[in-house]
Amino acid sequence: MIGWSKRRQITLVSGALFAFLLLFVLPAYLLMRTRPTCTDGVQNGTENGIDCGGGCRYLCVGDAEAPLVQFARAVIVDNGVYGAVAYLENRNQHAGARAVPYVLKTYDAGGLLVGEKSGTAYIPPRKVFALFEGRMQTGDRIPVRATFSWSATPRFERMNVEPVLDVREKHFETAIDVSRLEATLYNPSLASVRGIEITALLFDHGGTVYAASRTHITELAGTASTPLSFTWPRLLAQPARIEVLYTVPGQ
């Protein structure tokens, strides 16, 4: 049998534990349970909408401007093989979006659909960028125009401006049945930059893109440079202007 003093000790300890739970643990639990978060599915705290705006990572619809689509073009890759490129600009200073689905389509002179490619886009803040889809088999049909559209509305989030890289020494040349663009990508910062997507565009004298290609750089160390090479398996005209655009979705 438990003696009277032992029972009294157990009662006191139990009472103290109950008081601690009642005065400290329960209020803390209730506070944490009711504290506003950006994932609770309701508009609360400093939010301007449901789980958006205020102190949340994501912006509310209307707080960011949709990317401006400057143009979409069908471009030849090889005999019977075409691609499509879209040239876009995100004017939001500190807002971008990730994995936004899109579709590029090409059409012939009669307005009939020739090819279609879907993808997902990384939208960098305050930047001009390009999206290119190649290898559209067209057979004997010739695409003369292209369209670009988002398959879903971009969900913008707060995002820092991308690292600044420098494209140098652009040189275009042709050989037998091959055209090549060589360039150098330089990282002026001390920090490494990872996951770089690069798209090259060739423009004619009328300002129209007639060829495009893309490549990927896994990592570029600080103050380092790396060669870039873009090739097309056909003879292309000498470009009037060359643009090499990059984004850093892996950063």
Return d(Cα 148, Cα 100) in angstroms, integer: 13
Q: What is the pLDDT of residue 14?
A: 56
- What does the pLDDT profile of the chain (251 residues) look like in tens digits? 555 565 556 555 455 555 554 455 555 554 455 566 887 788 887 878 888 888 888 999 889 999 999 999 999 888 888 999 999 999 999 999 999 999 999 999 999 999 999 999 999 999 999 999 988 888 788 999 999 999 999 999 999 989 999 999 999 999 988 999 999 999 999 999 999 999 999 999 999 999 999 999 999 999 999 999 999 999 999 999 999 999 999 76
CATH number at residue 157: 2.60.40.3230
- 181 in any annotated domain: yes
Angle at 71 between CA 195 and CA 89, to 5 degrees: 50
How many domains does the structure of the chain reveal? 2
Q: What is the pLDDT of residue 11?
A: 56
| Main-chain dihedrals φ then ψ at residue 21, nearest 5 degrees | -65, -40
Are 103 and 167 contained in the same domain?
no
Do the Cβ atoms of 105 and 147 come closer than 8 Å?
Answer: yes
Are 192 and 230 contained in the same domain?
yes
Are 151 and 195 contained in the same domain?
no
Cβ contacts of residue 38 below 8 Å, gap of 6+? Answer: 47, 51, 52, 55, 56, 57, 58
Note down the domain range covering 144. Answer: 51-161
Final residue before a domain boundary, out of 161, 189, 212: 161
